[in-house]
Amino acid sequence: MKFFDKQISGFKNEISGKQESFFPFSEKKWEDAGRNEIVMQRDTAFELQGTGFELFTSERIGDDGVVVVGEDLKDLKDKSPFARVSLIELDDISDEQQAHDTVRKIEYIKYHYFPKGYMVRTNSLSFAENIRVSKKAIKDGISFEKVGSLLISKYKENPAVKAVKVFFVTDKTVDYSKILALSEKSREITEALDHVIRDLNLDCNTCKLKAICDEVEGMKELHFKNAVN
């Protein structure tokens, strides 16, 4: 799967040279509350405002783990810019419908993990992801390593997922507007996949997603192959 290769390279370029800490996936993950808890303002230690999205590849990414670029939760004090990017290695799925369905199912996972004291507010249309962390969670030792390990465990419930690296970015010198642009391009690629699977219109000149098909390696070929089949 090469559809997201440019976004993966772009993200790695944005964090290149920044201080990174890698934590191997741990079974000592943070507690899942079972539902999204409401963290009231009076109980809030700080908020993180940014974006969260998934990037997929069939290339080897290494061992499961969490990468923190910048400060960890215990070191943050005030409202901070933030990005959460999950790099997910999948089986090289040859069936287009199965590949599309797998990507969609994995993207939905972020709506179904609920770290205790870590309220996640998302917007599926923009990939906005804002976090409110409780004072109690900080006192109890919450960290990106533990939250990320919980998310990894959720991703890996899908048998197509071979490995996951979850990046949490809080470094204030990162250009978050560029990461946001990468998330928006990722969303456009997924929308184009939806179109390829569900719409057999071959008039590219009238298709609003023509620019994406022209840009993303293999997308146009997939469209015509799907139509012929």
Backbone angles phi, psi at 192, to 5 degrees: -65, -40
Predicted pLDDT of residue 224? 45
Look up the pTM and report it. Answer: 0.85
Strand partners, 54: 86
What letter would DSSP give residue 208?
A: T
Predicted pLDDT of residue 127? 85
What letter would DSSP give residue 88?
A: E
> How do residues 17-46 score in pLDDT, each as one tens digit?
999 999 999 888 999 999 988 999 999 999
> How do residues 132-148 score in pLDDT, each as one tens digit?
999 999 999 999 999 99
Identify the band that residue 227 occupies on the pLDDT scale cut at 50, 70 and 90.
very low
Helices (H), the chain: 5-15, 96-108, 135-139, 144-155, 176-198, 210-215, 219-228
Gap between the Cα atoms of 148 and 46, Å rounded: 18
**229: exposed, middle or buried (Cβ count in 10 Å: 0-12, 13-18, 19+):** exposed
- What type of residue sits at position 82? F
Strand partners, 51: 83, 128
- Domains delineated in the chain: 5-174 (3.30.1650.10)
